[in-house]
Amino acid sequence: MAQTKKVVFIAKDDSIEILKKLLTDMVKPSQEEKGCLLYHIYQKAQTPNTFVVIETWENDEALQGHKDSQHYKYYKSNYEQYTADKYSEELIELGV
């Protein structure tokens, strides 16, 4: 069963551009991973310190493969220092 998540990052005031680059660098390698159905990052227009990641993985194994990747491990070991808050939600696709 596909796994879809929304992850929201709120950057520290002095770290918006650094966090933006760290997250943006995740897009291409994540999209190229086996089992990635969707991987997009957005910056909120009205609150530019807020980034939203929407990702869909074919199944739990694909999501775990993503978490085991080098680019994910790099992001995971670096994002906290630039982030004031972070939360995630699992999403259920409707109308399918």
- In this structure, is residue 25 part of a structural domain? yes
Q: Please state the pTM of the whole predicted model.
A: 0.93
Alpha helix (H) residue ranges in the chain? 16-31, 60-67, 70-76
pLDDT tens sequence across 22-40: 999 999 999 999 999 999 9
* Residue 95 within a domain: no
Residue pair 57/72 in contact by the 8 Å Cβ criterion: no
Number of domains into which the chain is organized = 1
Residue for token digits 């994002």?
A: 79
Structure tokens at 77: 């070991």
CA–CA separation, 7 and 40 (whole Å): 11
pLDDT in tens, 59-85: 999 999 999 999 999 999 999 999 999
Domain that residue 21 falls in = 4-8+16-84
The verdict on residue 34 lying in a domain is yes
Residue 90 lies in a domain: no
Q: What is the CATH number of the domain that holds 32?
A: 3.30.70.100
